[in-house]
Amino acid sequence: MNGTLSLSSLFSGANARSMAAPIFIVLVLAMLVLPLPPFALDMLFTFNIALSIMVLLVSLSTKKALEFAAFPTVLLLSTLLRLSLNVASTRVVLLEGHTGPDAAGKVIEAFGHFLVGGDYTVGIIVFVILVVINFIVITKGAGRIAEVSARFTLDAMPGKQMAIDADLNAGLIDENEARRRRAEISQEADFYGSMDGASKFVRGDAIAGILILLINIVGGLLVGLMQHDLTLADAARNYTLLAIGDGLVAQIPALVISIAAGIIVSRVSTEEDIAGQMMSNVFSKTQALYITAAILGLMGMIPGMPNFAFLLLAGGMVWLARKGSRKPPEAPPEAASAPVAPVESQEASWEDVAPIDTLGLEVGYRLIPLVDAAADGELVRRIKGIRKKFAREIGFLPPAVHIRDNLEINPNSYRITLKGVEIGSGEVRTGLFLAIDPGNITASLPGVATRDPAFGLPAVWVESAMREQAQAMGYTVVDPGTVVATHLNHLVTLHAAELLGRQEAQALLDHLGKSAPKLVEDLVPKMLPLSAVQKVLQNLLIEGVAIRDMRTIIDSLLDNAAHVQDPHELTALVRVALGRSIVQQIYGSAGELPVIALDQGLERLLMQTLQAGQDAVGLEPGLADTLLERTQASTQRQEALGHPPVLLTPAVLRPLLARFLRRTVPQLKVLSHAEVPEGKQIKVTSLVGGAA
């Protein structure tokens, strides 16, 4: 009973599918050794033809090459099946060929007799033509395409990975989607690499087909003459026709499989299958159809030409062109509502005062499809992702982005506003892709030269057909929606402090109060007003410090608010409490921290300036210029070494230097000694005011 149950479970469900391939391989190998009766050969040859047709139809219906990822393996298995059938049929031909043309089954007889009219000379010529078509034309072309595709796919992988990382960092996709896209890129490279090698199977199959045909003819003549006492004419007729039928019945499925391979590697991935691409790209061009019909009609009127055939095809072309030109009428655009005349009797009211949006995005009329929520505009979804990413990384929920069209700006332009004031703008071109130069491109691209609106990198607007080529050359290629979303994400992060108003600060405290009500209650309003807490949070955001760890921030404020009320001094104390988080945000988990330090002489001079009651604005001009110049030089050296630009100073100097350097050297982070957590080693790699 146990044996029966285990056997039934072995061949059921998923186990049966996993056992199918090994069983198929074993049966194919068995055909190389075991003799097969003619009926079995008929069934197997018929199955081989059906398999090749099925593979061709699947290839025609795929929209992307990866939808038929098993094709290289199918190519190997079908080649192995054909060669095994050739061996099995050769055995039967040589053993039973003297009995007549049906010795190896009805299928071989049909291909050797009816398809070539029983003339083995015609059969040999047809066989050679099929082999030439398969070997020289289709297989060689498909192999070359697969080779080039594999090389370009591998070259484009870094650019594609960068595009995925950019979308992930901008919050447009999550980790799961990024992982899926990376896996798809890897699978695409593996597929084209496998196709490059698998094309050699078909080439070897064609060579083997020629050799098997010659072996069958020569071997058959020898067997017929020497073992069965046939005349030369009878032996040639029987064995040559059988050999030709055997070769044709194998080469025709091989040709079909080769065509399927060519279709798979030569198609361009779109949302349509091959039939849809052909109809939309070829037969939808009515002008080309009319011109073709006119040429065919003129040729059909020439005396001596097959007039009926040419005129019939010309009429068919005209019919196709007229059918294609009858497109359903587009719905008329909604008429713009006429301006309503103002009612003179109405008085002004408070409702006439329109509030200013905290965050706004204005687009030209050509960009409206990107933000059309009714049509599921891609930019609307990406803006939602930006807000989620901002809340997750910065620590509070930013205001909603109000999107509206603006007919006064360029049709391809957009404006990003903060409290009604423009903080950024750009121009994108729908239907094109922006190829951004990350600094390591191998060649230039034809297109409209521009700059990335978010970071000012050199870029080119290119056609969609050049997207793969641009990625292979090292460009980071993004669509118009990603360009606008990345620019918006950059500006929202840059102006995070201005987005944290009192309403947002109160909402943040209310959110924390759900999990720690006593903590919030003891701070606001007992020890600090809401405005002071808001100012501390804004100071942290101005210096690029996330406020996700609100519990630590509130704890630090509670510890120090009894004797310190100044928001700037409280910010410095909070930074010390957040030191581990700040250092990790800059350096990650590194144990050694390469930093820029102040020369002792310059440090003493700044200390004296601070003790004299002067701030960053009151620095002596010569000292300010020297400090700025040498800090910029040290920052550049630090970046050239591959280290994050961080200036380490005494705690009393940190606020002074942070405010002074923030505008001129925005990438520089200023840390105090008190903010460096224990266990971290400090390595001074450059000095401001001294030699590096």
Which residue, chain included where needed, has tokens 């005011």?
A: 689
Distance CA 580, CA 576 (A): 8
> So what's the pLDDT on residue 331?
44
Residue 633 CA: distances (Å) to CA of 170, 626, 645, 672, 687: 31, 11, 11, 20, 10
> So what's the pLDDT on residue 595?
93
Residues ≥6 apart with Cβ < 8 Å to 524: 509, 530, 533
Q: Strand 359-363 vs strand 413-418: parallel, antiparallel, or unpaired?
A: antiparallel
Q: What is the DSSP string of 176-215?
A: HHHHHHHHHHHHHHHHHHHHHHHHHHHHHHHHHHHHHHHH
Q: Are 466 and 445 in contact (CB under 8 A)?
A: yes
Q: Are 509 and 407 in contact (CB under 8 A)?
A: no
Distance CA 638, CA 596 (A): 8
Residue 55 tokens read as: 């593979």
Residues ≥6 apart with Cβ < 8 Å to 66: 184, 187, 188, 191
> So what's the pLDDT on residue 673?
92
Task: Look up residue 649 and give its amino acid.
Answer: T
Distance CA 290, CA 281 (A): 15
Residue 568 tokens read as: 């700037």
Residue 558 tokens read as: 């509670």
Q: Are 444 and 473 in contact (CB under 8 A)?
A: no
> So what's the pLDDT on residue 25?
79
Residues ≥6 apart with Cβ < 8 Å to 98: 223, 224, 227, 228, 230, 235, 238
Q: What is the DSSP string of 6-20?
A: HHHHHTSHHHHHHHH
> So what's the pLDDT on residue 374?
64
Which stretches within 326-372 are classed as H helix? 368-371
Which stretches within 97-174 are classed as H helix? 106-109, 120-132, 140-169
> So what's the pLDDT on residue 114?
61
What SS3 state is found at 249?
helix
Q: Strand 421-427 vs strand 458-463: parallel, antiparallel, or unpaired?
A: unpaired
Q: Are 97 and 242 in contact (CB under 8 A)?
A: yes
Distance CA 474, CA 597 (A): 37
Q: In this structure, is the dihedral angle defined by the CA atoms of residues 583, 587, 593 and 598, taken in order, positive or negative?
A: negative
Distance CA 75, CA 119 (A): 32
Starting at the edge strand that comes first in sequence, how are the strands of the sheet with 681-688 ordered?
Answer: 669-672, 646-649, 592-598, 681-688
Residue 263 tokens read as: 């279709």
Give CA 634 to chain center in angstroms: 38
* Helix-, strand-, coil-residue percentages of the chain, each rounded to 5: 65, 10, 25
Q: Give 271's DSSP letter.
A: S
Starting at the edge strand that comes first in sequence, how are the strands of the sheet with 458-463 ordered?
Answer: 448-451, 458-463, 432-436, 476-478
Q: Are 627 and 660 in contact (CB under 8 A)?
A: yes
What SS3 state is found at 282?
coil
Q: For the CA atoms of 456, 543, 674, 564, what is the dihedral angle to 10 degrees?
A: 170
Which residue, chain included where needed, has tokens 């641009």?
A: 470
Q: What does the longest C-alpha to C-alpha distance in the chain come to?
A: 124
For 618, phi then psi, to 5°, come to: -90, 10
Distance CA 201, CA 609 (A): 81
For 122, phi then psi, to 5°, come to: -60, -40
Kindly give the parts of the chain with pLDDT less than 50.
1-7, 10-11, 329-341, 343, 616-617, 691-692
Residue 534 CA: distances (Å) to CA of 391, 406, 496, 506: 17, 34, 12, 9
Residue 452 CB: number of other CB atoms within 10 A?
A: 20
Residue 432 tokens read as: 């094109």
Angle of helix 654-661 versus helix 567-577 axis, rounded to 10: 100
Distance CA 690, CA 77 (A): 72
622-662 pLDDT, tens digit each: 888 888 889 999 999 998 888 999 999 999 899 888 988 88
94-112 pLDDT, tens digit each: 777 666 666 666 777 777 6
Residue 117 CB: number of other CB atoms within 10 A?
A: 9
> So what's the pLDDT on residue 373?
66
Residue 177 CB: number of other CB atoms within 10 A?
A: 13
Give the helix/strand (H/E) hosting 476. strand 476-478
Which residue, chain included where needed, has tokens 């360029």?
A: 410
Residue 120 CB: number of other CB atoms within 10 A?
A: 23
Q: Are 418 and 359 in contact (CB under 8 A)?
A: yes
The upper half-sphere exposure of residue 371, i.e. CA atoms within 13 Å in the direction of its Cβ, equals 20
